[in-house]
């Protein structure tokens, strides 16, 4: 049940605020989307997410790992092999992220207009 008290919604311990802090940045949804189809290597993220810098991708993956959303596995081979996959907690995020993605596709024309308005000086 959602509390009606705005002070509660703005509190740092509000679950909605914590969830948005976890997934509400620019790069987390694409990373989670790619991981929803299975284990990925770092280069796969770089190739499939246009515009993400190495620094931002690394920061995003580290943050998701420390939050318990992503599991990072390093294999002791040369050259080093590192894979990322969703944890059980991370897998629970896929359904709501997919619902937002479906909404975005259904409203792509409106979103395109919003984006274009935001790009105007």
Domain ranges of the chain: 6-119
pLDDT string in tens for the chain (121-residue length): 555 666 566 777 888 888 888 998 999 999 999 999 999 999 999 999 999 999 999 999 999 999 999 999 999 999 889 999 999 999 999 998 889 889 999 999 999 999 889 887 7
CATH code for the part of the protein at 6-119 = 1.10.10.10
DSSP 75-103: E--SS-EEEEEE-HHHHHHHHHHHHHHHH
pLDDT of residue 86: 98
Handedness of CA 5, 104, 99, 106 (dihedral sign): positive
């Amino acid at each position: 049940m959602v509390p009606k008290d705005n002070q509660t919604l703005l509190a740092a311990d509000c679950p909605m605020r914590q969830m948005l802090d976890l997934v509400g940045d620019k790069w987390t949804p694409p990373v989670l989307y790619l991981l929803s189809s299975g284990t990925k290597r770092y280069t796969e993220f770089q190739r499939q997410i246009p515009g993400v810098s190495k620094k931002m991708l690394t920061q995003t993956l580290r943050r998701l790992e420390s939050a318990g959303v992503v599991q990072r596995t390093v294999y002791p081979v040369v050259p080093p092999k590192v894979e990322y996959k969703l944890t059980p907690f991370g897998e629970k995020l896929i359904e709501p992220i997919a619902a937002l993605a479906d909404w975005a596709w259904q409203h792509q024309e409106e979103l395109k207009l919003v984006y274009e308005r935001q790009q105007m000086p």
